[in-house]
Each structure stands twice: as C-alpha cells, then as structure tokens.
Amino acid sequence: MTAATLWHPYAQMHTQPPALNVIGGKGARFTLEGGESLLDATCSWWCMIHGYSHPRLVAAIKDQADTLCHVMLGGLTHEPAKQLADALVRVTPAGLNHVFFSDSGSVGMEVAMKMAVQYQVQTGQPEKHRMMSLMRAYHGDTSGCMAVCDPEEGMHSLFSGYLPRHHFAPAPTAPFDAPRAAVEDDIQALRRMLEAHHHEVAALLMEPLLQAAGGLNMTSPHYVRAARELCDEFDVLLVFDEVATGFGRTGKLFAAEHAGVTPDIMVLSKGLTGGYLGHAATLATDKVYGAFLSEDPGHAFMHGPTFMGNPLACRVALESLAVFEEERYLDKIATLNAILRQELLEDSDLRAHSEVDDVRVLGATAVIEVKDAVCLKGVQAFARRHGVWLRPFGRWLYTMPAYVTTADEMRRITDVMKGWFRERAEQAK
C-alpha cells in the first residue's frame, strides 16, 4: 500500500490508478505533468464556467490580493461583499433581496436549512423542524446535507444511523418539455407527501429542473411552479439548490427563470466565482429575512463561518458576472445546446444503441444514461486516449463543458462520447 499524504475524495488510493497531476490550464483545456493536454468535458464538475486561467478573473484576484485578502464579517464589512450582494439581488429572481455568504455549496445548503428552521421557530412554529427533499437529490457531503440526499443512492448510506430523519418525496419523472397534464402524477405525489407531513416540515428542498448528481434527472417547469403553489398552500418554505444549475447551465441564468418562480431561499455556489475560489451565497426573501429582525439579539441568525464573504472570492465573483454579461454567455450556451442536441439527442445510432437507455440535453449539459454501469468501465481511459477528460458516474456519462468551449471542441467531446458506444458495438460483433 502506498503511503499517500494527500487523501483524495471517493477514491481507493491504493488500487485506483494514481490521480493525474494537473500543472495548468487555459480555456476549456488543462495540461498534465509531461505535457498531455486534455479537453475538460466536465468543467471541473460544473464549476469552471469560464474555463481555466481566464485573464480577467485572474487579474481580479491579483488586484484584490494587493488590497485585502480577508477580514471576518463580524462587525466589519467591505466593498466586494457589499457589491456582490447587490449584484446577486439584481440578477436573481425578483424578491430575493438578502444575501448570506459562505464558502461551499454544502455549507450554503446548511445555511439554507438552518435559516428555514430558525424562521419557523421565530414565526411560532417550532414543530416545523424537518426538511422534505426529493429522491435522487444531491445537496452536498456535510452531515446536514447528507441527511437530505437520496437515502437509497449509496454514497452516504453507511452514515444513516448518525443522520437526522427527514422526508423524501418521489423524484419527478416527467421530462422538461412535458405538458402540464403529463406532470400531474408527479405533482400529486408531492402533494400527498406535503399533506401527510407539512405540520413538521420547515422547507421543501429541490434542485429546480435538473437533479445534477442524480443522473441529470430533469423535470418540467410545471412541476417547479406546482411546488411553489403547494409550499404556499401548506405553509412550507421553498428552497432552490441552484449550486449546479445556477449561472447559465440550463440555458437561462437561473433554472428558476424557466418556471418564473421565486423560491423563499436560493443557494448558489460553483459557477458563482467561475470556480476560481470556494464561495457560496444563500439568498432569502423579505418574508424570511423579516423573521430575523427583532429587538431580541437571540433572533439573529445563528451562523457565522470565518470565511464568509471572503473579499477575494467576492471580487472574482463580481468579475465572473461582468464577463458573463459582457461576453454574452447565454448566446454561447445556446450554441453549445444546439450542438449537444444535434450530436447526441438527435443521433439515431446512439439512441438505438442496445446499451443506451436515454439521452437528455438541457442548456449546456447532456447525459447519456446506460442500462448497466458496467458499460462505462473503461470510458475514461478511452476518452483520455482521444484527448478528452470525461468523468462517468454510476450509469451516467455526463458533459457540462465550460461556456468558452468552442463549437469544434464541443463536437470533439460529443464525438468521443459517441465513439465509446461505436467501439463497444464493434467489439460486440
């Protein structure tokens, strides 16, 4: 067994091939020690939306580093945090007027859950202290987050004895473009869960439209709208986890926009800083924020991470938003979407492949779902031989490229994804 000092996540360091040493990156590509260049089809798992070493983002960090690297927001504040809070209120769905910063997607979700519980306590409903989330959900790896992830998925099942008990509504099954009638069963299933448990539920958590780690399971904007209506009917807060869907991934700046819905609380991370620094924002409406305003100091929100509102992270997030708007990223995403649709969704050979169960595309992301995970064994090495970095997960072969990925690069990625299935069909002959 090797004596590794660096402990990698979700990995058997002594049996798996050693992790590849990345020495730099530019655009949608990174370079390995020894000079091999790989096109990153996953943009570092949803976050490096501008690709690597974007000059404006790098310059923003360097400039901020000369001024103020960190100060804790306990009785102190600073311009980058204030400006970023203003900017996020401007770009997120109308009504999300208050921003609480933290440092990762998981912690942003922890903040959302604690905010929801404290809101219920301070509005006289302390019995509403559990969460409801959806099967196939992934909200992070901290204890609070593990407790609201799909309990059958297996990633966190060994911790089940340690985790608090929450409620899980069935994962929606109707596709993105389903008409309202086709979504009715999903909506009624959610209604039944809320009817049964609303008296003890503080908040319904969902990744709107697209369950990212849950195999890119998509749902319709009708479902998201119905969730809003049901939460109002049953007096439950609605929390959107836009950690993966936020900042353009679904084709709009936020997935919530497809449904025209404002949640009570919304969580952003990953693309918030373009992936350049760890950061998260939990946004809340006036209704939620109002429950924390009181003469009683005990009504203050009981959370305060050391690194919340880090100036470097806030500054790079501001630059990331500016680049997103000035360089018309939504147009770039539309171009990537057209290629993904044409090359994957509309490829009849791929869809007819005996091992492929489904192909789904939304915005700048796509997944090939296979019938058996065994079929993807070896795909990563295959892609690497063709200059592409893919990261299969369970029965899913994803791509979520950086938005700076060129049309040629996008086709290269889809060619390699399809090439794997062509090769398997050849071998089976």
Among the residue ranges 65-73, 81-89, 99-107, 290-298, the one whose residues contact ligand PLP (CB under 6 A): 99-107
Is position 324 an interface residue for ligand PLP (rule: CB under 6 A)? no
CB of 429 to ligand PLP, least distance (A): 38
Asked if 361 is part of the footprint of ligand PLP (rule: CB under 6 A), the reply reads no
Q: Which is nearer to ligand PLP, 100 or 420 (CB)?
A: 100
Tell me whether residue 306 is annotated as binding. Answer: yes
Residue 244 binds to ligand PLP (criterion: CB under 6 A):
yes
Selected from 52, 138, 176, 324, the binder of ligand PLP by CB under 6 A is: 138
Neighbours of 147 (CB within 10 A): 21
Tell me whether residue 403 is annotated as binding: no
DSSP 157: G
Count of residues touching ligand PLP (by CB under 6 A): 14
- The residue within the footprint of ligand PLP, chosen from 25, 80, 105, 208 (CB under 6 A), is 105
- The contact pattern for ligand PLP, residues 259-278, with x = CB under 6 A and - = no contact, is ----------x---------
178/212 with CB nearer ligand PLP: 212
Q: Does 212 bind ligand PLP (CB under 6 A)?
A: yes
CB nearer to ligand PLP: give 207 or 343.
207
Print burial letters for 244-283: b (CB count within 10 Å at least 16), e (below 16).
bbbbbbbbbbbbbbbbebbbbbbbbbbbbbbbbbbbbbbb
Q: Helices H, strands E: what count in the chain?
A: 14, 16
End-to-end CA distance of the chain: 40
Give Dmax (Cα) for the chain.
Answer: 76
Residues shown for the chain: 429
- Residue 230's identity, in one-letter code, is L
Nearest Cα to Cα of residue 272 among 311, 226, 321: 321
Q: How far apart are CA 80 and CA 416, in angstroms?
A: 41
Closer residue to ligand PLP, CB minimum distance, 270 or 353: 270
Which residues are annotated as catalytic? 10, 138, 241, 270
Cα separation, 43 vs 229, in Å, equals 35
Distance CA 101, CA 77 (A): 12
**What number of CA atoms fall less than 13 Å from residue 325's CA on the CB side?**
9
Is residue 150 part of the contact set for ligand PLP (CB under 6 A)?
A: no
Q: Confirm or deny that 391 is annotated as ligand binding.
A: yes
Q: Which stretch binds ligand PLP (CB under 6 A): 80-88, 104-112, 377-385, 400-408?
A: 104-112
Amino acid found at 353: H
Residue of 183, 201, 213, 318 that binds ligand PLP (CB under 6 A): 213
3-state secondary structure of 74: coil
| Cβ 275 to ligand PLP shortest distance, Å | 10
> Per rule CB under 6 A, is residue 106 in the interface with ligand PLP?
yes
Q: How far is the CB of 280 from ligand PLP (least distance, A)?
A: 7
- Tell me the C-alpha distance between 402 and 137, whole Å: 23
SS3 147: coil
If one counts every other C-beta atom within 10 angstroms of the C-beta of residue 10, the result is 7
- Tokens 């880090």, residue? 310
**Vertex 75, ends 69 and 80: CA angle to 5°?**
40
Interface residue with ligand PLP among 40, 110, 186, 207 (CB under 6 A) is 207
Question: What's the min distance (Å) between Cβ of 155 and ligand PLP?
Answer: 11
Q: Please, what is the minimum distance in Å from the beta carbon of residue 145 to ligand PLP? A: 7
The residue within the footprint of ligand PLP, chosen from 88, 96, 109, 194 (CB under 6 A), is 109
Tell me: does residue 243 bind ligand PLP (CB under 6 A).
yes
Binding of residue 241 to ligand PLP (CB under 6 A): yes
Q: Which residues are annotated as a binding site for substrate?
A: 45, 138, 270, 304, 391
Provide the binding-site residues for ligand PLP, judged by CB under 6 A. 104-106, 109, 138-140, 207, 212-213, 241, 243-244, 269
